[in-house]
Amino acid sequence: MSESSILITGGAGYIGSHTARQLGAAGRRIVTLDNLSTGFREAVLYGDLIEGDTGDPELVSQLLHDYQVDTVLHFAAHTIVPESVEKPLKYYRNNTCNTRNLLECCAEAGVRHFVFSSTAAVYGIPEGDAICAEDSPTAPINPYGASKLMSEQMIRDLDKASDMRHVILRYFNVAGSDPEGRIGQSTKQATLLIKVAAEAAVGKRDTLYIFGTDFPTPDGTGVRDYIHVEDLATAHVDALRYLENGGESTTLNVGYGHGYSVREVLETVQKVHGAPLNIVERERRAGDPPSLVASAERIRETLGWKPRYDDLEAIAAHSIAWERKLMASPWGE
């Protein structure tokens, strides 16, 4: 093989598959590594899918060699905050230890570019107005955020010790699905709010829960910066282009810069759906901060990122449409 490739870990998952689709459609040569624990073969629309784990150094090294990989987009991770509180070592093994393994393989193979899927959970509970800038203090309050922050530090340290440059993208709350309905959020037993609300809208769930109504927010429910998965995927494509054009290593928030409360999101889903949903209020979940909203200017300035789907109703509509498609033709069954 003469042409270099892009390795996408977790590329059969929700965000990775949308990014892989954009890169594949643009004619880039990609290969996906996914253990399919939460991903789906059906989501891989371009390139080869290798079933395996980032914790397998022999497999990773072989892939980097065989496909002449010079760029890695690393999505593979566990991502459920409450589960991370209950099973912290699971998260440190998969999110931190496996990232260390991947980085060692990349260093040995001479990989030049690394784009990392991080999270706003590294900020913990922000002080003041709850707007998180890239230089805001990092103080994660759950093992998920801590596991990602540890990975960020390893990436920066390797950057200083090698020729590999990186972009770390700190996601806020991803939602929505491919507007054309080719792929979408298909995770079993999902916990993301808009995904869960869309499942309720099509009859997959009888009840929706609001976890916490006593947060210090305008309506008492948690506030988040919800970003459409297509815009998030585009941020990865832009990050890759930035590195290929000689950009310096950097860390960037990926969000729209404004938030919606849980109540506002559910009201929007009900509006788009055209019918009320059965909503029940519950106690707060462990590890949930009251508010997380991005300061999102730096990514626009650095990458020239131009989001196209900053519209909560559109996000809800795409999510509901995908759930209807899954009902007609379920994945992974």
Residue 214's contacts (CB-CB under 8 Å, 6 or more residues apart) are 220, 284
**CB atoms < 10 A from the CB of 169, how many?**
23
Residue 221's contacts (CB-CB under 8 Å, 6 or more residues apart) are 210, 212, 213, 215, 261, 262, 263
Residue 129's contacts (CB-CB under 8 Å, 6 or more residues apart) are none
Catalytic-residue membership of 144 = yes
Q: Which residues make beta-bridge pairs with 294?
A: 132
Cβ contact 166:252 at 8 Å: no
149 CB-side CA count, 13 A: 16
Residue 326's contacts (CB-CB under 8 Å, 6 or more residues apart) are 184, 186
Residue 288, CA distances (Å) to 41, 167, 194 in order: 32, 26, 16
Q: CA 22, CA 146: separation in Å to the nearest integer?
A: 30
Unique residue bearing structure tokens 């449409």? 321
Q: Which of 46, 92, 144, 260 is catalytic?
A: 144
Helix (H) or strand (E) holding 100: helix 98-109
Active site residues per annotation: 144
